[in-house]
């Protein structure tokens, strides 16, 4: 698709339904082929991560290497400290063919794209997470034979977070019936909303959740637990959808047991063995979370090839 050449991905709002469909189909084709290529040979990509990462970093590096590109994981740079974002971006634009940014600020992502004059991929900001949603939609398309506009997706939890916002944008583009199940305190203005999670999930095809507090929000744990305990995705809630084809998605990491430092601390202080999803629901037959995680790599690879490929 020629119009994708040289394009950034700051938000899915900037892409058409046809362009999103193309990226998903290309990712599915690449997954099926399972081969390396040289479509990005000679290309150099810099990863700028101001927040921790497992899937986004690993998926991007593997995707780039499998297409012949070189990757720099930039740490301890002067950007934003001794050097302005503008100046740093102009320098990086002379060295690299693309940037993947993961950090707090959507404005920094936009400024990097503006001043570098090379494609910028949003690997997560506090406002948006478009590369995650590409993987989510790929997972959905692999599972369902029905088109997107015949599917219902319910996001259960903090309806104001970046993933909920990115899903809302993507669902509107693709025609998915999208509903947020959340307490009124955690819903963005104008979002399609239902306060009762059991009412919301009736007839759902996809139930999606995310952590109850994001990176940098650890001070809000008590407040979020109080608001969101009724919104845990558990087997009872999954079965309330009354849909044998139902799938459960989670962008990960997930607090579904006591095998994490944070999960154990929350258990010791508040007595919760799991937070946004129960261990049974996370491991159930409904759950496609590891297919979804794998698809981060395939969709990022498709994005790189479509926008940078030779």
Out of 21, 97, 251, 301, the active site residue is: 251
* CA separation for the pair 92, 273 (Å, rounded): 45
55 is catalytic: no
Out of 132, 136, 256, 301, the active site residue is: 132
Give phi and psi for 84, each to the nearest 5. Answer: -70, 160
Out of 102, 168, 250, 298, the active site residue is: 102
10 Å CB burial of residue 39 (0-12, 13-18, 19+) is: middle
102 is catalytic: yes
Out of 55, 129, 168, 250, the active site residue is: 129
CA-based nearest residue to 213, from 172, 260, 247, 254: 254
Give phi and psi for 228, each to the nearest 5. Answer: -105, -5
114 is catalytic: no
132 is catalytic: yes
296 is catalytic: yes
The CA-CA-CA angle for residues 263, 207, 104, to 5°, reads 55
Give phi and psi for 193, each to the nearest 5. Answer: -140, 140
First to last CA, the chain: 12
Out of 224, 250, 296, 298, the active site residue is: 296
Catalytic residue IDs? 102, 129, 132, 210, 251, 296
């Amino acid at each position: 698709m020629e119009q994708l050449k040289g394009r950034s991905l700051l938000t899915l709002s900037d892409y058409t339904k046809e362009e999103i469909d193309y990226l998903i189909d290309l990712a599915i084709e690449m997954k099926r082929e399972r081969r390396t290529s040289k479509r990005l040979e000679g290309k150099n990509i810099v990863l700028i991560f101001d927040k921790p990462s497992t899937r986004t970093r690993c998926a991007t590096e593997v995707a780039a290497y499998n297409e012949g590109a070189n990757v720099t994981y930039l740490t301890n740079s002067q950007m934003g400290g001794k050097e302005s974002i503008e100046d740093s971006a102009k320098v990086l634009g002379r060295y690299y063919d693309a940037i993947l940014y993961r950090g707090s600020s959507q404005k920094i992502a936009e400024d990097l794209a503006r001043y570098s004059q090379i494609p910028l991929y949003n690997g997560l900001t506090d406002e948006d997470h478009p590369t995650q949603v590409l993987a989510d939609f790929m997972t959905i398309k692999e599972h369902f034979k029905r088109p997107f506009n015949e599917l219902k997706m319910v996001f259960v939890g903090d309806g104001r977070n970046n993933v909920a916002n990115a899903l809302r944008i993507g669902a509107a583009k693709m025609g998915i019936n999208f509903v947020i199940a959340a307490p009124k305190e955690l819903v963005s203005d104008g979002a399609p909303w239902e306060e009762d999670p059991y009412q919301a999930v009736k007839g759902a095809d996809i139930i999606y959740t995310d952590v109850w507090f994001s990176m940098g929000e650890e001070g809000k744990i008590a407040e979020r637990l109080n608001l969101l305990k009724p919104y845990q995705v558990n087997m009872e809630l999954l079965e309330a959808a009354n849909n044998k084809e139902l799938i459960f998605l989670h962008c990960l990491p997930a607090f579904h047991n006591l095998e994490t430092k944070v999960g154990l601390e929350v258990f010791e202080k508040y007595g919760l063995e799991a937070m946004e999803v129960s261990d049974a629901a996370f491991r159930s037959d409904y759950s496609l979370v590891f297919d979804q995680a794998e698809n981060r790599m395939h969709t990022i690879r498709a994005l790189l090839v479509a926008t940078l490929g030779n």
